[in-house]
Structure 1
């Protein structure tokens, strides 16, 4: 079955046994009380297994959502295993909602005030942290992690991405839709690089940006660890591009410019310095790097980084969102100035909304390739809604920045 690595990889993150749920059933009201106290803005209406309905929050304006709780065990999973447990409860049919995005937006907007009420705790937190460490991005680990997500198949991604096969946030959404917004994103990144003769792209995806830069006259070297992406890029993009299967840590050259689009989130914190070393080592003096990256709010980072979440367990093994202040300090220490940063999280929310609609259309139209079962389809839909809710809440964001080597 395709996608099994993601599904089975997440199962290692300590599911909650049913016997434990039955033993502590009287404590479920306290879990609801903790969630209620943590919702400083917005509201969550819960339709509970005993037939009652309870509103949580509702004290200040914000996102509003409804959840049908079919089994009390879902609350236990949330209380002890955070977002991983909340997904495991969803997969088990213990809760549902007609609007997943709003559920995640409510929880995201109150992430700081909810605290431990929606994060893994105790032995489950330690177990999740340990399981995540097995996904660290050593050179061999990075190869496995990239393959688990990006080698799901070009036919899979082609079923719901736009025609440019661009799997990152679009920019400046308008009535002309995702195709045009993705081209505006590519144009923005290209403009940040100026008019370089030589360009390195780190994490080239299916080659859309490399193709644009090559057609503008640059000599492009583009690297990836995904066999599927490289196969597509070599057969569909400008033939002058040097597409290489190569780890960024192994690149040694001198380039006028470097581009990297939503690749740094796959590294993990311990490898951020190595990425900045790569930029400093391979840029010519005065060279420019255009980076698009996803961040999490500084005040949430340490708790977030202390244990794995749903995305790290089931979607991007080894990944970690960026702490922008720390990333900027690493650049500065290597003589890379941090220039012209722009943020466009609302555009990412719209990109994810479009992807989710296109994915649903592919499923309903029978255009999803064979091999993806019902569990995987629910996982992928949940993933897209989860991320959209985070961007709508504002505690995660996406940015473009230009780094210049002095």
Structure 2
């Protein structure tokens, strides 16, 4: 397992944008400070007490070295095996929203059924720690979001770069042939991920009313799957990305699909977009915008849409009360996977539309259970093809990080803590 500290990788500059915040660089096997647990004996004891109290009522089995077992789970319930209790509780006590995932990354604890284990934790996420202690932790203990991860024009490009530019080849190994990195929509009785992704794309294009002869704007290109399908409907597509690596592969894939003459891939932020379009589509991009820029983002959808046009918006969501209390938190997901991200609520989307646009939600459908299935398929494919991922230069720490990310998200969608909606937006 490779766990470097603050030394830069050969040929790459050290990335210290502040004196206190040194970034993990998973594509280079650089994990600042991860190898050494924090020294926080009082916090560790508090964390252990809270953890033991919370787990006693959960349908899981937690096994300690020496054979001690806690939890309300039966013989078939998921098992959490704590290999290094002192390190685990030290990390959990120092930064609970980061330390739990970091402990998995370094092997302080393991599980043979990670999504199954995380599901009951996700179901009781808001009550595992007493609300009064949550408020104290937010004020005095928990890490706050780094200022440099705000989604300004420059900040957004860096945040996107840190995730989507890990490696095009990495994403190709676990995604389907459309390279869709968003929820699929499975037909009844079908477990085919490719068909689910094509159905999802058709669903959002239908909500936007995309048809032959239209000029469509897509905000968030991905790797060109939606633009390809829109072009095959006879539409002309302008699609925006701020990832150079995604732009290059999307253009190659569009050419291979024979639709490059109908699609223009621009390296451009949504705030820099100009023109007027018959339809606008944006799939799971709003989560990377940030609350302070939601008014700008939704106003852009309105500004870029021709009279009579519709917007197809796909958005991951969370309950509004949880979003409000957690929107300033800095979590494991922010540190290692999606810097600058914030999942909106349906209420926050509707309020921003009402305040800053002439648009409203005319129709919507939930794909939450489908996202759980999608994430499960991604995790299985990633683990099955780990040898190929490792050949790209990713280390064992990355494997556990990515497995935890996919399993953590799958658990959230399983229990409804997270949802995802396709929304058709029309003018009021």
TM-score scaled by structure 1? 0.89
Determine the C-alpha separation between the residues in 1 that align with 2:329 and 2:152. 19
Counterpart residue number, 1:164: 178
Determine the C-alpha separation between the residues in 2 that align with 1:11 and 1:84. 14
Query: Do structure 1's residue 74 and structure 2's residue 88 form an aligned pair?
Result: yes
Structure 1 pair 34–140 and aligned structure 2 pair: CA distance change class (3 A): same
Counterpart residue number, 1:274: 296
The Cα shift of 1:311 comes to 1.2
Query: Do structure 1's residue 147 and structure 2's residue 184 form an aligned pair?
Result: no
Query: Do structure 1's residue 249 and structure 2's residue 297 form an aligned pair?
Result: no
Counterpart residue number, 1:101: 115
Structure 1 counterpart SS, 2:247: helix
Which of 248, 253, 257 aligns to 1:231? It is 248
Which of 191, 204, 227 aligns to 1:189? It is 204
Query: Do structure 1's residue 263 and structure 2's residue 285 form an aligned pair?
Result: yes
Structure 1 pair 305–34 and aligned structure 2 pair: CA distance change class (3 A): farther
User: Can you give the 5+ residue segments of structure 1 that lack an aligned partner in the other structure?
Assistant: none
Counterpart residue number, 1:325: 347
Structure 1 pair 233–19 and aligned structure 2 pair: CA distance change class (3 A): closer
Structure 2 counterpart SS, 1:170: coil
Could you say what the CA RMSD is over the residues aligned between the two structures, in angstroms? 2.9
Which of 237, 261, 271 aligns to 1:220? It is 237
Structure 1 pair 153–397 and aligned structure 2 pair: CA distance change class (3 A): same
Q: Does the CA-based 8 Å contact 1:80-1:121 persist in structure 2?
A: no
1:175-212 Cα distance to aligned partner (Å, 9 max, x none): 35101111111111111122451110000111111111
Structure 2 counterpart SS, 1:134: helix
Determine the C-alpha separation between the residues in 1 that align with 2:372 and 2:158. 28
Specify which structure has the higher proportion of helix.
1
1:125-166 Cα distance to aligned partner (Å, 9 max, x none): 6662143x3211110011111111111122111111111111
Counterpart residue number, 1:373: 395
Structure 1 pair 122–28 and aligned structure 2 pair: CA distance change class (3 A): closer
User: Can you give the 5+ residue segments of structure 2 that lack an aligned partner in the other structure?
Assistant: 1-8, 13-22
Query: Do structure 1's residue 5 and structure 2's residue 25 form an aligned pair?
Result: yes
Number of equivalences: 396
Determine the C-alpha separation between the residues in 1 that align with 2:194 and 2:77. 31
Determine the C-alpha separation between the residues in 1 that align with 2:221 and 2:140. 34
The Cα shift of 1:53 comes to 0.9
The Cα shift of 1:403 comes to 0.6
Determine the C-alpha separation between the residues in 2 that align with 1:171 and 1:355. 14
Counterpart residue number, 1:19: 39
Counterpart residue number, 2:61: 45
Query: Do structure 1's residue 129 and structure 2's residue 118 form an aligned pair?
Result: no
Structure 2 counterpart SS, 1:400: strand
Q: Does the CA-based 8 Å contact 2:236-2:263 persist in structure 1?
A: yes
The Cα shift of 1:124 comes to 9.0
Q: Does the CA-based 8 Å contact 2:44-2:92 persist in structure 1?
A: no
TM-score scaled by structure 2? 0.85
1:298-320 Cα distance to aligned partner (Å, 9 max, x none): 22112321311221111011111
The Cα shift of 1:242 comes to 1.0
Q: Does the CA-based 8 Å contact 1:129-1:307 persist in structure 2?
A: yes
Query: Do structure 1's residue 30 and structure 2's residue 49 form an aligned pair?
Result: yes
Determine the C-alpha separation between the residues in 2 that align with 1:122 and 1:367. 38
Counterpart residue number, 2:363: 340
Structure 2 counterpart SS, 1:107: helix
Counterpart residue number, 1:351: 374
Q: Does the CA-based 8 Å contact 1:193-1:290 persist in structure 2?
A: yes
Deviates more, 1:218-227 or 1:68-77: 68-77
Counterpart residue number, 1:177: 192
Deviates more, 1:67-76 or 1:25-34: 25-34
The Cα shift of 1:116 comes to 5.3
Q: Does the CA-based 8 Å contact 2:60-2:117 persist in structure 1?
A: yes
The Cα shift of 1:266 comes to 0.8
1:25-71 Cα distance to aligned partner (Å, 9 max, x none): 6556522344247x5xx42321124531112x56xx9x953211122
Determine the C-alpha separation between the residues in 2 that align with 1:193 and 1:337. 13
Show the 5 A alignment for 1:273-292.
273-292=295-314
The Cα shift of 1:371 comes to 1.4
The Cα shift of 1:373 comes to 1.2
1:194-247 Cα distance to aligned partner (Å, 9 max, x none): 245111000011111111111211111000011111101111212121110000
Determine the C-alpha separation between the residues in 2 that align with 1:236 and 1:27. 53
Counterpart residue number, 2:126: 112
1:94-117 Cα distance to aligned partner (Å, 9 max, x none): 111111102221111001221459
The Cα shift of 1:91 comes to 2.1
Query: Do structure 1's residue 396 and structure 2's residue 410 form an aligned pair?
Result: no
Structure 1 pair 33–358 and aligned structure 2 pair: CA distance change class (3 A): closer
